[in-house]
Structures are given as structure tokens and as C-alpha cells.
Structure 1
Amino acid sequence: MSKESTATTELDVDTENLYREETFTDLRAASVRRLTPVNPDGSPDSERETMFIGDTTLMTQVGPMPVQFGIEAETLEQAFKKFPEGVKGAIERLNERAKEMAREEASRIVVPQGGVPPGFTGGGGHGGPMPSGGGGKIMLK
């Protein structure tokens, strides 16, 4: 039997962490999921807090991007009132993560030792001369 099949058959369900999921939407942009804790028999579990999760799709230059975020609320009405603030916070976190990833990627670029490559006369890209031969070499860590 393959490892994938074994992993699937060994999957355990945490019956002490079950939730009933309901979705509410304005049919335009806002969707809120209410996760109500339940006992293994499906009855409400009053020992745990109800959770709200905001869900929307942003249109970007590269296409649609799904955005999900937790909403601190006691009621569905509060969750929808806090929805715009949640979207804004999620976008800010996504932007910060994108910047962090760009910094990590930039730090992987290693400039070759020895300065300017032989035959490089400058310019390039704006009608100026291009480097002769193979040009510069960029190595990734």
C-alpha cells in the first residue's frame, strides 16, 4: 500500500472540536461564515465560543484573489458591521507578506565577485551598448 493511502486511512476526526457551519451573504461582496460549536451528537456546545469568518474575493491585476479573515464578534450583526474593517486588515497583512517575500527573494540574489564583467561598456536597455559575451551572471543561493 502506498504512503498516501496509509495516511488517508489513518486520518482521525476530532469529535471534540466539531462546528456547525452557516454562510450568510449580501449577494454582492460580503460573506460571513458562522461556526457554532456542537457536541458529537450535534447538540450546541455552550462551553465554546461561536466563531465568525469573513470571506470575499478581490479583483487584482493578476485575477481574482480570495481573502478570508477572522472576525471578533458576538453576533452575526456585529460580524457584518466589522466586515469592512476585517477586509482592510486582511489586505494590509497580505501586502506586508508580499513585501516580506520580495525581501526574502532579493536576499537570495548573489552578485558575482570581481566587479564589472569584462567587455561591459555600460548602458543597455535604453539604446546604449550591451555587454559583450555572456553578460553578467546572477546566482541564487
Structure 2
Amino acid sequence: MRAQIDESGVLFTAQRSFSLWKYGVGHSQLLIRSVPSGSQEFCMDIKFEGVAAVKLAAKYNGVAIRLVPEEESARLCEYAGVPPKWRSELVAISLGLHRGSDQVLCQSVSVLYGGSDPIVVDPRDQEVLWQYEG
């Protein structure tokens, strides 16, 4: 499933509360999770793979995933020390509802839905709602 970009540059939105859940430097993965609450019976995860740089808040009340403009993306690559030959494999993503400095430099990002246990979610219980690769 390839992401579609709307006229505002937003790739994906969700009006749920998300928290920084897990960051694995060894596997270069970042997970941001929205746990079930109220009428929401399943978890929603935003999973970043091939992470080279992270500049995020710990919590979000809603997210709007956008591509970071090319100039900002180049600065983030420079900051992270990404060699020029690998930069074409990465994408810079902004996460906040309002355009700002919340960014992740990664190879891909996926939004997953499923699993009712807020602590341990079996990947087999999740479906891919949306994904984007650099």
C-alpha cells in the first residue's frame, strides 16, 4: 500500500493519544503507541524502521504524519552524520499535528492497528493501515 499525499502535505492522521513506547538502537526501530481507551478497543502503533535520527516529544494528542521538506531533510541527514550515498534510502517524517520540529529520519514508517493488551501486542494481531518507504 503506497501512501497518498493530500493537498496539505499530510500523509496520515489519527485523533488519538500517542506515547513514545520503545526505541531499539540495535535494530534501529522506534515505536509510538496509542493504547485502548474509551471507545477505542485496540492499539494503534506507529512503527519506524531503519531509524537514523529522532527528535520527538514523549506524548502526542493526535498525530499528522507529513514528509519533511527537502532542505530540512538534508539538515537532519547532516546532523545525524548520514553519508551522502545512503541519504536516498531515507525519508524524514514530521509527526506533530502542527508543522514543527518533531521529526524522524528513517527508511520506512507504518501505522498498525490491533491488539487489545496495551503492554504486549502480538504483531500477528495487527493489520497495516498505512505505510511509507523512502
- Common fold by TM > 0.5: no
Bigger helix fraction: 1
Bigger strand fraction: 2
State TM-score, norm by structure 2.
Answer: 0.26
Larger radius of gyration: 1
